[in-house]
Structure 1
């Protein structure tokens, strides 16, 4: 069987978990083709990402005009199914935040996708995210393309289930993957009970090399915290800065590193300047995965004050490196992080609770933090090995004919 992985953009710095999943499936004997809408010209520095880009076919590389031959070919060869695709595209435009012409473009992309899959001998299509690539896969299936499945991460899909037509996508799929039990429960809400059996939990995983013994270095003695992630509203960095301002005003000693970049960087920098937090907070901008690893190892605790999540891979990475995690008790996070055992959980949006929990973490002796980190490491190794999770995915794929 040949499987194609299909995403909006691939490879992508923040989506290394997709690359890990593909490589793990290949190690288990699954032949995987890479397919994406875009991403051929993105600035990449990771050698693994650069290698993956060379293996990826891009549907939109030739522009929208390049989709026309496949669309005409599909119309002439199978007019009935093509018109069914038109009707479905128009139906999916209802309640969507994008007007009907966009959905007709998705149909044209589906025509090109069907043509490419036939050329490449693709038997099954697996999509990451329940957004527009899942719609393209649904339309492709309707006009004669391969069976498809898709992985839902959240929180975007859970914010717009009606506009994204999750029900229609699940009903047409052979199976659906949720990355946590919480995510599975949210999908249950939008589809009939007769389709629940399709929805299975497969965690995102870390490479075995990530579980190698960490460098033999002492646990950090300085009160250094790190927050890794895109600088955006849903990650809660502005609330985190408000919390550290209050900690500073109480006379607590610490340094917080915001590792990442994003649309809120200017607003965060303005807050730092307004409240004279330059001595307590620094922002790195975009950094490599190796630099992220070094930042996690240099910190005593990883902090994530998110308002909305799926199950962040960076939490798994911090735990694998033996660092306790202080984060919010939302989505799938409490399925991994146990309060007082692997780290700390606080209510999302509660700045007072965040201040007090940060203060408690900073006051925790290094030896106790190190023990929490070891417990966290054992837990993530047990639950998030990419080879174990890829085996679950392989089992879900249709048997070769």
Structure 2
């Protein structure tokens, strides 16, 4: 459904790579804004997995028509440098974009000047890209968008969404904090996905008057399930995640191995990632192969079906060795809407969504014993499962409706333009 009131608004979603299957929060925002009548374009530095756009929920939007890729596909360092030198050289010789190309080489842009990123983008755009707003996902994308605006390639107000890794692990990278200080000072809106990350941004020097919590929501129409009695003899446990360290999946397997031998359960893992083979080996070593099933990557509709199957959604997130943390996992919101009970950890922004013993169960990070106790309790107490699930649906409906959240964002951006 389109809303004509928003038809005059032109917004660009700015990301590093598009599309990425695991970044459902980006895809949800794009399609929701389109449904709200907004003129949406996608600016991405590099192309991602185009098969993602053929999913049944995305195909009708034909998003490939809305994407502008600012750089050539990733390649080896020397191939990339040669390609960029060619683009920049031709641009300087032809002279059309000489001012913006040279501006992209300023030392203040650090690595993005040295690797010719900004100048290459400038060389391929003879006129500035104009939008009412650019919504950049992750701090690094906000920095690039701001730099492109500084050299004259981009004309727009800029709002940057901070998710987690960008204000934890990436702070260790050279120049990140310096770049963020410029971002805080020069751009219009800073949008952390949780109260925790808002506090973090303010502690780093962000202006409170331009910093607002903007949660990532879910399509409740797809995931909201009717209340059903899931009291079965086999506890259905599900995880949907990228197989990376911060997801804490090895502790999920350890917890399952600690469950009583009389307890009947089936555990499904949906996803992919760098730890997949390690997790499969761990499952085998723990003697769980008959109860643990790796299903691979799935599209949104397939994930929704798995959510409806699940009694429990297990998300044992941890702080990774490099400091990387979650924001508020969208998969938890999807599971809450679907009627699954959340078993997760006291990690990052998760407790802002899941209240222990109210709409889910939480354990300390890396505590397999506590996770096992929670799972066993839910197996033995089907009435508790129903109570927690009902409360979770109510919580997610109030806090994570993607349509309401993006309408609120449009209102915020509209008011910013009106009063600044």
TM-score between both structures, scaled by the size of structure 2: 0.82
Q: Which residue of 2 aligns with 1:96?
A: none
Matches within 5 A, 1:157-176: 157-161=167-171, 163=173, 164-165=176-177, 166-176=180-190
Counterpart CA distance in 2 for 1:296 and 1:270 is 25
Determine if the alignment matches structure 1 residue 275 to structure 2 residue 286.
yes
User: After superposition, what is the alpha-carbon deviation per residue over 1:4-48, rounded to whole angstroms, capped at 9, x for unaligned?
Assistant: 111112222112222222233334443221111222553334134
Secondary structure (helix, strand or coil) at the match of 1:219 reads coil
Determine if the alignment matches structure 1 residue 82 to structure 2 residue 123.
no
Determine if the alignment matches structure 1 residue 204 to structure 2 residue 204.
no
The farther-off stretch of 108-117 and 292-301 is 108-117
CA shift, 1:298, in A, is 1.2
Match of 1:309 among 299, 317, 326: 326
Secondary structure (helix, strand or coil) at the match of 2:237 reads strand
Counterpart CA distance in 2 for 1:267 and 1:211 is 31
Q: Do 1:10 and 1:36's aligned partners in 2 also have CA atoms closer than 8 Å?
A: yes
Match of 2:389 among 370, 373, 398: 373
User: After superposition, what is the alpha-carbon deviation per residue over 1:120-151, rounded to whole angstroms, capped at 9, x for unaligned?
Assistant: x32432211112x2222121122123232210
CA shift, 1:396, in A, is 3.0
Counterpart CA distance in 2 for 1:375 and 1:112 is 54
Q: Which residue of 2 aligns with 1:237?
A: 249
CA shift, 1:301, in A, is 0.7
Counterpart CA distance in 2 for 1:171 and 1:363 is 54
The farther-off stretch of 386-395 and 227-236 is 386-395
Unaligned runs of 5+ in 2: 1-8, 74-79, 319-324
Q: Which residue of 1 aligns with 2:55?
A: 46
Q: Which residue of 1 aligns with 2:373?
A: 356
Q: Do 1:180 and 1:332's aligned partners in 2 also have CA atoms closer than 8 Å?
A: yes
Q: Note closer, same or farther for the CA distance 1:279–1:143 as it changes in structure 2 (3 Å cut).
A: same
Secondary structure (helix, strand or coil) at the match of 1:150 reads strand
The farther-off stretch of 308-317 and 41-50 is 41-50
Unaligned runs of 5+ in 1: 94-99
Counterpart CA distance in 1 for 2:298 and 2:308 is 15
Q: Which residue of 2 aligns with 1:177?
A: 191
Q: Which residue of 2 aligns with 1:285?
A: 296
CA shift, 1:88, in A, is 1.5
CA shift, 1:67, in A, is 4.7
CA shift, 1:216, in A, is 7.3
Aligned residue-pair number: 382
Q: Note closer, same or farther for the CA distance 1:384–1:270 as it changes in structure 2 (3 Å cut).
A: same
CA shift, 1:230, in A, is 0.9
Counterpart CA distance in 2 for 1:238 and 1:74 is 55
CA shift, 1:59, in A, is 1.3
Q: Do 1:11 and 1:49's aligned partners in 2 also have CA atoms closer than 8 Å?
A: no
Counterpart CA distance in 2 for 1:134 and 1:251 is 52
Secondary structure (helix, strand or coil) at the match of 1:227 reads strand
TM-score between both structures, scaled by the size of structure 1: 0.86
Q: Do 1:128 and 1:151's aligned partners in 2 also have CA atoms closer than 8 Å?
A: yes
Q: Do 1:327 and 1:345's aligned partners in 2 also have CA atoms closer than 8 Å?
A: yes
Q: Note closer, same or farther for the CA distance 1:67–1:246 as it changes in structure 2 (3 Å cut).
A: farther
Q: Note closer, same or farther for the CA distance 1:22–1:116 as it changes in structure 2 (3 Å cut).
A: farther
Counterpart CA distance in 2 for 1:183 and 1:74 is 42
Q: Do 1:7 and 1:36's aligned partners in 2 also have CA atoms closer than 8 Å?
A: yes
Counterpart CA distance in 2 for 1:12 and 1:220 is 36
Q: Which residue of 1 aligns with 2:200?
A: 186
Counterpart CA distance in 1 for 2:241 and 2:195 is 23
Counterpart CA distance in 2 for 1:112 and 1:2 is 24
Counterpart CA distance in 2 for 1:129 and 1:234 is 17
Determine if the alignment matches structure 1 residue 339 to structure 2 residue 356.
yes
Q: Which residue of 1 aligns with 2:403?
A: 387
Matches within 5 A, 1:216-231: 218-219=229-230, 221=232, 222-231=234-243
Matches within 5 A, 1:109-128: 110-111=121-122, 115=126, 117-118=128-129, 121-128=130-137
Match of 1:12 among 17, 20, 26: 20
Q: Do 2:42 and 2:66's aligned partners in 1 also have CA atoms closer than 8 Å?
A: yes
The farther-off stretch of 374-383 and 61-70 is 61-70
Match of 2:115 among 104, 111, 117: 104
